[in-house]
Amino acid sequence: MSIVGIVIHHHRDLAVRQARSLVDWLIERGDDVRMTELDSQTLGLDASVFPDEQFGEGLDLVVTLGGDGSILRAVELIDGSPVPVLGVNVGELGYLAMVEPGEEQHAVEGFLAGHHEVEERLMVQATVDRGGGLEVHHALNEVVVERGATSTTIRLSVSIDDAYFHTYAADGLIVSTATGSTAYSLSARGPIVAPGLRALLLTPVAPHQLFDRSLVLKPDSTVRFEVSGHRGARLSVDGRTLSTLDKGHTVECTASPRTVRLVRFGDSTFHEVLKAKFGLADVRE
């Protein structure tokens, strides 16, 4: 008997339908199914409901049905536990979920039989200092310090490995992993980096200056932001806005001691995924 967590995209009917079918199948097999209260209510199914803070304890596998956002929510829920994550792609432009709808039962069977691979993905850790104690966050994709909804350009002083680098005037700055290079960093014209590469990317968002390039840094680098102007900023981690930052507040980004374990099947390569997502021609012209 296995304990399988289910995380769904609440606003996609296909994800809800596929999740209901998967839960029924798992229960028929004699496996335990675990969901958050919100997911259980969305599905209208009887399953073991756990508080968010206990969701990852003792799980053998987490299955997400949605897009990359559902995988990011699962990563938040397991909170550093080394639970493998299997993504079913019921999204649009996702890079993390590789199993197609209708294949989830076969994929779970393959996982439980040991017919799978696990990719370890680097995470980034953000340590926030507001002068009254530190708070720590972990992200699979990115940590972002950016302007608030009503403010204009902010000023952020950046140090790399304890040496002052530059003060940016920009809408924000992103520190991403290689996995996150195809997320917000990509939309800010950052480079596409193979997800197996251990690196940190520093990408400015709409910089108001000549220097507008992304930096690809070693995984043991430390990137430190300080809000240096009078305009405040906000901190986001994997798309979740967590708090506001004022002048003098700092965010220090390093490689996290945590990793995310993504379940993979077959020989699909990152380059093939890119070709599919961008609609690149498969024939030489």
Active site residue 68: yes
> How close are the terminal C-alpha atoms of the chain, in Å?
53
Among candidate residues 115, 109, 83, 120, the one with its CA nearest the CA of residue 5: 83
Residue 108 identity (one-letter amino acid): V
Residues 262, 117: Cα–Cα separation, whole Å: 8
Return the number of other C-beta atoms located less than 10 Å from residue 136's C-beta.
10
Query: 41: which residues sit within 8 A by CB, 6+ positions away?
Result: none
Q: What are phi and psi of 142, to 5 degrees?
A: -160, 160
> ∠225-231-236 over CA atoms, to 5°?
50
Question: Could you tell me if residue 68 is left (phi over 0), alpha (psi between -120 and 50 degrees) or otherwise beta?
Answer: alpha
Classified as helix, coil or strand, 146 is: strand
Helices 104-112/13-29 angle, 10° precision:
40
Cβ(255)–Cβ(143) under 8 Å? no
> ∠164-165-171 over CA atoms, to 5°?
115
Name beta bridge partners: 7.
Answer: 64
Q: Is the dihedral of CA 258, 114, 111, 276 positive or negative?
A: positive
Task: Choose, from 31, 39, 68, 238, the residue flagged as catalytic.
Answer: 68
Hey, which residues are catalytic here?
Answer: 68
